[in-house]
């Protein structure tokens, strides 16, 4: 099975190499801003001409938004705009032009309805101080050195890695991987190189192909499994909040930049800002590491994983829980499970957003009309079962994959409307290894929302 995979490594750059990388990132920003300014100027000119009643055939010729059209325009004017262009690789300018072409296409598709999801805004100009420096190489000498501690990139030369690239080097030596591009970017005060690689992965099977596990994510526990396992929520952001507040207060006392007066930031402000950025990067790295370990373990052990289709964007609108939900990273956990189950030969089943997993009894299938979020213990008035609310939800999710009907046949009342939940309980059906998540099955259109799965719900 061929798939696109990224390998990301930290770099240990010398001062000379860092200045060279910054120069390439600056060249990408210059090309991006120049092309965007030209596109905006032509659009404004054409709009003004239309307001004066000029015919469409007589308007100022439009500029193509595709990468070849932008590259052609850049090559025609680069001697005037950037007479120093020979000092940098052509891939630096191509990076900025490609980013603009993608941004314009996303904005256009969002306006015309060809792009799903929230609306995309028009591209904005990039600032040297606020934008993250980045440059991407797609052609030229891109390779991992024999010692597996250095990489070779065009015009930048031989760069030292902070860790060994043996995993990527083994695949390259075996002929099961091909480097498509390399991106150098600064995140959290450190430089990283990310290789976009086409990998020929061997077919794998989970340790227990017939095992089914339901995963109920939440804030109290990061994940509650139907097997009874409770995965603690490390709360990395909450643990680092004291240090982040102290660094933020120290930064506020320094002389920072002011766009209104043109004031430049002081050196102490720059150092304090770097310290705060490194602290945030550490929280992000810890969270990413924990999620990868959890999702890898689940994908390798179980043949079928069932999760909920949570409205994370809606849940983040709750100002009381937004920070804790963002710290738990529900969306990232599901994203990693989606591709890791595919890599390991398993399947991922996504329950419908309105499926009442918490309000349904996992023992007899009785459904409660209301279940406040404050009730952390589920007590069934029909069969008398008493167990943790999240464990009950995880067992109901696992029952969706095994075909056990635990929700009963009666409707669920919510907000004064009745809605059938069991016939539309599944959003994703069984899929074969190597295929994408299945389409939605026949779901009864919601006439009213249940109180269990409100957009601001968090277990």
Helix, strand, coil % over all residues of the chain, rounded to 5: 40, 20, 40
User: CA-CA distance, 393 to 453, in Å (whole number)?
Assistant: 12
Catalytic residue among 308, 327, 352, 452: 308
In whole angstroms, how far apart are CA 274 and each of 25, 128, 241, 278, 428?
19, 15, 17, 6, 44
In whole angstroms, how far apart are CA 28 and each of 13, 31, 106, 215, 440?
20, 5, 20, 43, 42
415 half-sphere exposure, CB direction, 13 A CA radius: 11
Give SS3 for 108: helix
The count of other CB atoms within 10 Å of the CB of residue 1 is 13
290 half-sphere exposure, CB direction, 13 A CA radius: 17
Pairing mode, strands 377-379 and 347-351: unpaired
Catalytic residue among 91, 327, 352, 390: 390
Catalytic residue among 98, 216, 327, 352: 216
Specify the residue for token string 């659009």: 43
The count of other CB atoms within 10 Å of the CB of residue 402 is 11
Q: What is the DSSP string of 137-161?
A: E-SS--EE-TTSSEEEETTTEEEEE
> Does 308 qualify as catalytic in the annotation?
yes
In whole angstroms, how far apart are CA 234 and each of 141, 225, 227, 237, 276?
42, 17, 20, 9, 21
User: CA-CA distance, 347 to 401, in Å (whole number)?
Assistant: 10
User: CA-CA distance, 149 to 165, in Å (whole number)?
Assistant: 6
User: CA-CA distance, 298 to 307, in Å (whole number)?
Assistant: 12
The count of other CB atoms within 10 Å of the CB of residue 83 is 9
Q: Which residues are catalytic?
A: 216, 308, 390
């Amino acid at each position: 099975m061929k798939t696109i995979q990224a390998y990301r490594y930290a770099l240990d750059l010398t001062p000379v190499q860092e200045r060279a990388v910054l120069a390439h990132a600056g060249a990408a920003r210059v090309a991006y801003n120049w092309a965007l300014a030209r596109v905006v100027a032509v659009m404004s000119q054409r709009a003004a001409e239309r307001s004066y009643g000029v015919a469409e055939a007589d308007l100022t010729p439009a500029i193509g938004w595709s990468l070849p059209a932008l590259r052609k325009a850049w090559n025609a004017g680069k001697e005037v705009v950037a007479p120093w262009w020979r000092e940098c690789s052509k891939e630096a300018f191509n990076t900025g032009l490609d980013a603009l072409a993608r941004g314009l296409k996303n904005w256009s598709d969002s306006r015309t309805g060809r792009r799903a999801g929230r609306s995309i805004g028009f591209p904005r100009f990039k600032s040297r101080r606020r934008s993250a420096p980045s440059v991407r190489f797609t052609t030229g000498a891109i390779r991992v050195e024999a010692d597996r501690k250095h990489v070779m990139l065009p015009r930048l030369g031989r760069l030292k890695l902070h860790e060994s690239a043996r995993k990527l080097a083994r695949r390259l030596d075996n002929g099961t991987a091909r480097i498509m591009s390399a991106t150098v970017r600064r995140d959290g005060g450190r430089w990283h190189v990310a290789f976009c690689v086409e990998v020929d992965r061997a077919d794998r099977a989970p340790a227990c192909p017939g095992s089914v596990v339901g995963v109920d994510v939440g804030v109290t526990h990061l994940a509650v499994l139907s097997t009874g396992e409770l995965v603690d929520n490390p709360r990395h952001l909450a643990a680092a909040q004291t240090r982040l507040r102290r660094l933020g207060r120290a930064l506020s006392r320094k002389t920072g930049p002011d766009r209104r007066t043109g004031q430049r930031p002081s050196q102490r402000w720059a150092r304090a800002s770097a310290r705060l950025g490194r602290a945030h990067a550490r929280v992000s790295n810890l969270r990413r590491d924990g999620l990868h370990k959890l999702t890898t373990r689940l994908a390798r052990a179980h043949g079928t994983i069932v999760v909920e289709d949570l409205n994370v964007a809606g849940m983040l609108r709750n100002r009381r829980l937004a920070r804790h939900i963002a710290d738990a990273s529900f969306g990232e956990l599901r994203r990693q499970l989606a591709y890791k189950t595919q890599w390991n030969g398993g399947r991922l089943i996504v329950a419908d957003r309105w499926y009442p997993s918490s309000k349904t009894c996992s023992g007899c299938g009785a459904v409660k009309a209301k279940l406040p979020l404050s009730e952390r213990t589920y007590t069934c008035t029909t069969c008398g079962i008493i167990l943790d609310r999240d464990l009950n939800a995880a067992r109901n999710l696992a029952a969706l994959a095994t075909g056990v009907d635990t929700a009963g046949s009666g409707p669920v009342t919510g907000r004064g409307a009745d809605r059938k939940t069991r016939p539309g309980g599944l959003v994703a059906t069984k899929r074969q290894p190597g295929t994408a998540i299945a389409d939605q099955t026949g779901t009864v259109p919601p006439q009213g929302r249940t109180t269990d799965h409100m957009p601001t719900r968090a277990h």
